[in-house]
Amino acid sequence: MPTLQSDALVFFGATGDLAYKQIFTSIQGLIRDEGLNVPIIGVAKSGWTLDQLKARAKDSLEHHGGIDQNAFKKMLELLRYVDGDYADSDTFVRVRKELGKATQPLHYLAIPPSTFGAVAEGLAKSGCGDNARLVVEKPFGHDLDSACELNRILHHYFPEERIFRIDHYLGKEPVQNILYTRFANPIFEPIWNRTFVRNIQITMAENFGVQDRGRFYDEAGAVRDVVQNHMLQVLANLTMDPPTGEDHEAGRDAKAGLLKAIRPLSAESVVRGQYNGYRSVPGVAAGSTIETFVAVKLFIDSWRWAGVPIYIRTGKELPVTATEVIVEFRRPPRETFGEIVPIRSSHMRLRVSPDITIALGVRVKLPGERMVGNDVELNLQRQSAADEPPYQRLLGDAMRGTTELFAREDLVEAQWRVVQPILGNVTPLYNYDTGTWGPQEALQLIGSDGPWIDPQVPSPEK
């Protein structure tokens, strides 16, 4: 069995986009902040040399966070490179040689899921997989059947406790803050249920398009790219029961129970949209029916949440870039002061990005003799620039064998079961203009529970 700390880091896809944008800067952070001092081996089939990989690392850091001279110097000392095909057994023989005395490495597969099986087999047959941990990137499967098959393949070579399915959203400080705010403050738990909550809205908006990801995005779409993973993970943190006991799996057990209680979506509970101009993006099919916007209405079949409608929407080319949650509380059965009060007068707002916000909507009395008031929002806000980057946090956790922020097999399959009925072109696709909040049909979906509450992001100062 592996000890607590992995003694080498191998990352496949070393010359790829994810390594360039996230992995090099995370490794530098781990060296700087945690004293990481193990062999770091990049693997790819690009015809590169070690010097070229080092130059790529330098360029990556210059464009993503900056270079820490001491940590970067140490990274270059630790860095190795193996250039080879993932289907060639000799590639893994050379990886084993570069590992040297390491006996319990961490292998990070920053590569397409279609290659996971070949790499897992190569690691196992070469001895590189002995006592090793395996980190795999999303998307984990394309639907429920493919996710189950991928789990079966990986389990042939690695036990579940050594497989770390990464979703960077779980490493974000604001997403963890949702859990902490709920369970660290006793004023919230008694009202966090169907008796006091009228409905919930979750919005993840982006004010840009698919950019250079046209080919990938046209195979995924908003449901697979965002809802199945990021949005359901946020919902789980928002609505799961408190973990019980001291077992290290308690948090994931509670999350699994919640995800398994979500009623699978139906065609009547989803609105899909595509922004005008999407089909002209390079890599996108001329007659593409892939959604760039989706709104869903779902329910959790549990005593805590029975009957509470939950609305999730996400889309590209919307007016702002922001992710936030609105929990709307029920009004009292009788307005004591005879006012006509807006139905969503009381709420809690939890913003994940671009800033971290916890806000409470309350009603306060106006000065004077009359017992009348208006709605205000008590707001606690901070910027997230100083937070530990999510990939650095998750990579460090994987090196230590800490599983809490990684998706377990049953969690991934539960998430796929929720969205499985709406995958593909099974519902109408509505066009919408860039810079709007998606197709008008999304307003019909939310109906009397609406309107949607649009995140308000201040314009940057000129």
Catalytic residues: 230
Q: Are 13 and 110 in contact (CB under 8 A)?
A: yes
352 backbone φψ class: left, alpha, beta (φ>0; ψ -120 to 50)? alpha
Say if residue 52 is exposed, middle or buried (CB neighbours under 10 Å; 0-12, 13-18, 19+): middle
- CA dist 188 and 242 (Å) reads 12
- CA dist 232 and 238 (Å) reads 10
> Sign of torsion, CA 438 275 353 297?
positive
- CA dist 14 and 108 (Å) reads 10
Q: Where are the alpha helices (DSSP H) in 293-440?
A: 390-400, 409-419
Other Cβ atoms closer than 10 A to 242:
11
Between strands 310-315 and 270-275, the pairing is unpaired
Inter-axis angle of helices 24-34 and 390-400, nearest 10: 60
Instruction: Give the full edge-to-edge strand order of the sheet including 322-329.
Output: 373-383, 355-365, 347-353, 322-329, 197-205, 310-315, 293-298, 270-275, 429-432
- CA dist 302 and 193 (Å) reads 10
Question: Where is 357: in which H helix or E strand?
Answer: strand 355-365
Check residue 407 and report its DSSP letter.
Answer: B
- CA dist 210 and 326 (Å) reads 26
